[in-house]
Amino acid sequence: MAWLGADRPVSLSAAFAMRPVPLPQDTIDGFEDARRARFEEGLYLWAYADAPANPAGSAYLLGFSIEIALKAAYFRVEGLAPAFPIDHQVLNTARNKAGLLGVTTPHESFHSLVFWCEALRALRVSLGSPLPPAADAPLQRYARSSQDRWWVGMRYQPSATSAAELDDLVEAASWFDSNYVLLYR
Amino acid sequence: MPVFRHAPSRTHQHHELVAELARHLEPAPGEPLPPQPEIYEEEVPGTRPLLRVWVVWGAWANLSELERSQIILEAYERARGRKAMLGVSIAAGLTPREAEELGLAVQAASA
């Protein structure tokens, strides 16, 4: 077994970085910027849309803001640095780790709100810092209710979101926006 | 027309490979070990001790990337406990050929 610590001149990650076609890298920092942006865009469409009977755009963006919040909070709890690249290997490891911690919800190409909610909760419990009940209960409730109203594939479907469902998504996304920091602290 | 079947999510070697990898992670004193699997650990920047783990092993050849990652995490948990498993942020398995194609074997040898 070899140990390649920070004191070594050449690291394995450096070897990966030398690959000829660098891909854009997702990071916690990027997730957090995107989370806030998608939330504000979704809220804007909800508040100012001329055709509230067709709220698909708003619902789509608000759902993404929740997904990104859960994902970013998970990796914050994991302990990764904000600028660390979140690639498919990191995602696969998170998926497998969630499975070992008893999460059975399918990740749905890493877009399932309930998967990320359960993975986050399980990771926090395993690390000895479960969410307080006052945050844990709404976290679960809003993740589950939002999953009933949003899925990543809805972009290919005619809008099926009612005004009442959109109001529910606004309430849920607003909770995640207001309580985002609480999810990982 | 041929019939294509999806491989099961866990191959029949799964538990055997977990046990073998765990044996390499925490070998008994004086226990002779074969040259593979090669285990490379690298510290990952973060707010708590985290590792990126690569395991180079010919035994990965017929396994998916996902199952390789799963086996590595299970082996860490078995050999070093849950806390150590939770500290693995990236678990990736590569065959020697894949490692060579990525330049990892060369990098590791020169480090």
DSSP 8-state symbol, A4? E
B92 contacts in A (CB within 8 Å)?
Answer: 89, 93
B104 contacts in A (CB within 8 Å)?
Answer: 12, 15-16
Residue of A nearest to B78 (CA): A100
Q: Are A28 and A86 in contact (CB under 8 A)?
A: yes
| Amino acid (1-letter code) at residue B10 | R
- Calculate the alpha carbon distances from B110 to A85, A140, B54, B94 in Å: 25, 49, 16, 18
pTM of the model as a whole = 0.87
- CA–CA dist A163, A45 (Å, integer): 12
What pLDDT is recorded for position B109? 46
Q: Are A44 and A154 in contact (CB under 8 A)?
A: no
Residue B94 sits at the chain A interface (C-beta within 8 Å): no
What pLDDT is recorded for position A80? 97
Letter string b/e over residues B24-43, b meaning 16 or more CB atoms within 10 A of that residue's CB: bbeeeeeeeeeebbbbbbbb
Burial of B52 (0-12, 13-18, 19+ CB in 10 A): buried
Q: Are A79 and B47 in contact (CB under 8 A)?
A: yes
| Block residue for tokens 């919040």 | A69
B42 contacts in A (CB within 8 Å)?
Answer: 4-5, 11-13
- CA–CA dist A132, B16 (Å, integer): 40
B43 contacts in A (CB within 8 Å)?
Answer: 5-6
ipTM of the complex: 0.85
Residue B52 sits at the chain A interface (C-beta within 8 Å): yes
Structure tokens at A109: 């190409």
What pLDDT is recorded for position A168? 95
Residue B48 sits at the chain A interface (C-beta within 8 Å): yes
Beta pairing class for B38-44 and B50-56: antiparallel
What pLDDT is recorded for position B13? 92
pLDDT tens-digit profile, chain B (111 residues): 677 655 556 788 999 999 999 999 998 888 888 999 999 999 998 999 999 999 999 999 999 999 999 999 999 999 999 999 999 999 999 999 999 888 875 454 444
Mean pLDDT of successive 10-residue stretches along chain A, which has 185 residues: 42 54 82 98 85 75 97 98 95 97 96 98 98 97 96 84 91 98 97
Beta pairing class for A2-4 and B38-44: parallel
Q: How many CB pairs under 8 A join A and B?
A: 104
Q: Are A98 and A40 in contact (CB under 8 A)?
A: no
Q: Are A39 and A86 in contact (CB under 8 A)?
A: no
DSSP string, A86-147: --HHHHHHHHHHHHHTT--S--TTTT-HHHHHHHHHHHHHHTT-PPPHHHHHHHHHHHHHHH
What pLDDT is recorded for position A7? 42
